[in-house]
Amino acid sequence: MNHRATVALLIATLLLVGGLVYLRNNLATTREAVDLERFAAVFAPEDVTEIDLIRGSETISLRRENTEWRLTSPVADRAASDVVERLLLAVRFLGVRDREMVEDPAAAPETGLASPRLRLDLRGRESLRLDLGANTALPGEIFARLGGERAVLRVADSIVELATAPAESFRDPRLTTMVADDIEKFTVRRADGEMTLRRERGRWMIDKPVRSPADPRAVRDFLEPLLGLRITGFRIDDPAQAGTGSPAGAAAGISLTPRGGAEALDLQVVRDQSGDREVFTALLPPRGGTLELDPSVRRLFEVSPEDLRDRSLGWVDADTVDRIRLESDGQTLTLRRAGGGWVADEDGRVVGDAAVTRLIETFNATRVASFRPAASDLETGLDQPAQRISFSAWLSENTAEEPAGGQAIAGADLGATTSDGQIYTRASGSDETVTITTELSSTVRKLIRPDQPNPPPTP
């Protein structure tokens, strides 16, 4: 092949490739062409980042920030993403029933498109304007027109309901998007005082009004419904005042500090009586305006430190226990692991693993019935406890963390019986006096002397 033929072939190939690229980029595929015939607008909803919904003098503006939609007008707030996505899909699959070329919508006043009742402006990778006009003579149809096009469309009127929904329907009805694991600290404020809880080394602790461990399950059960509250109504306040100030006579509030150093949220709630029902209104500045909340927010007015306190005496993992020491009414039993079971140091008797497991499970399941901070040791019998329980691990040699020997895991001192049949108790490492039921005491006695019945409780 000569040089001229080679050059000509190369030029022809380049022209062919260039033509194919042009056609691919500028002509619709068969499927796209079908969509252009079937639907008013063809676009990718995920490419849309801005929406303006104009209806008369009102404009609803939505903006996508990362993966979240936000409402910027008529109030600044988090948007209900599912509602926005439904609107976008309704526009994308708005079916066309007929087309008619019209040079000027004003020349066809029956279409209502000269001054459309609804206008949707979508912006993102591409811009799109859709005007919605009057109803056609056929039921279930309206006139529509895409910006920049001559065709007047007859489309289904199903989009009208979505596009004319109240502005508040575009607001996220969830109070927050957080869950309990997102919270580092919170403070409840009421007329009767403050209560503060925070995480400390992975555990929840009560800081106010008492210094005490908190029950993680109780904290989660308090926070989750609060964070997941439903907003039952929105009041669009004066924009100059929205999200500022405090509602008059606020009865309760909670400050939430998210983990990771994010800005704290302050929720203020007012409880009012409207006839025979309670009405709860609130301010949460990032949400804008006054909110009406589901009545389950009542828990904020009722929660007490005792509701959230850790009511366990401690926790024992059976696999980590090597020694158990029990004292009851002057008798002592020291158990140590031996092979697959337990042996008593005092008399060498073998104690079945099931009995030890029952003791550990009973200890773990025991819950504080009441807190008795004012009770004295003399009154409670804890100056000379009637019973003692101690669980420990045994290290045969020094480690970087712990020296060799016994390492206390958990335990408790049990004293006198209260007038209502409970037992004064103090968990190991705690200075606080509490009461528990008699099950743990009975289990200890039964383990020390399995052949003797439990004596009646002594007040």
Per-residue pLDDT reduced to its tens digit, 335-394: 998 877 899 988 888 888 899 999 999 999 999 999 998 888 889 999 999 999 999 997
Q: What percent of the chain has pLDDT over 70?
A: 85
pLDDT of residue 325 exceeding 80, the answer is yes
162-171, 189-198, 282-291: lowest mean pLDDT where?
A: 282-291
pLDDT of residue 158 exceeding 70, the answer is yes
pLDDT of residue 274 exceeding 70, the answer is yes
78-87, 88-97, 145-154, 218-227: lowest mean pLDDT where?
A: 145-154
Is residue 262 left, alpha or beta, with left meaning phi > 0 and alpha meaning psi from -120 to 50? Answer: beta
Whether the link from the prior residue into 403 is cis, omega within 30° of 0, is: no
Distance CA 186, CA 303 (A): 13
Q: Which residue has the higher pLDDT, 148 or 272?
A: 272
Partners of residue 258 on adjacent β-strands: 183
Q: What DSSP letter does each residue of 112-126 carry, written as one string?
A: --SS-SEEEEEEESS
167-176, 194-203, 257-266: lowest mean pLDDT where?
A: 257-266
pTM over 0.75: no
pLDDT of residue 307 exceeding 90, the answer is yes
Distance CA 189, CA 206 (A): 14
pLDDT of residue 298: 92
Tens digit of each residue's pLDDT (9 = 90 or more) over 205-226: 999 998 889 999 999 999 999 9
pLDDT of residue 449: 84
User: What is the layout of strands, in order, in the sheet containing 128-135?
Assistant: 77-78, 68-73, 58-65, 48-55, 118-124, 128-135, 141-146, 151-156, 96-101
H/E segment holding residue 130? strand 128-135
User: Encoding tokens for residue 222?
Assistant: 């308090």
- The number of C-alpha atoms within 13 Å of 244 and in the hemisphere containing its C-beta is 5
pLDDT of residue 246: 45
Counting Cβ atoms within 10 Å, is residue 103 exposed (0-12), middle (13-18) or buried (19+)?
A: exposed
User: What is the layout of strands, in order, in the sheet containing 350-351?
Assistant: 350-351, 341-344, 331-338, 323-328, 387-395, 405-417, 423-427, 434-436, 370-371
Tens digit of each residue's pLDDT (9 = 90 or more) over 250-271: 589 999 999 987 788 999 999 9
pLDDT of residue 242 exceeding 50, the answer is no
pLDDT of residue 334 exceeding 60, the answer is yes
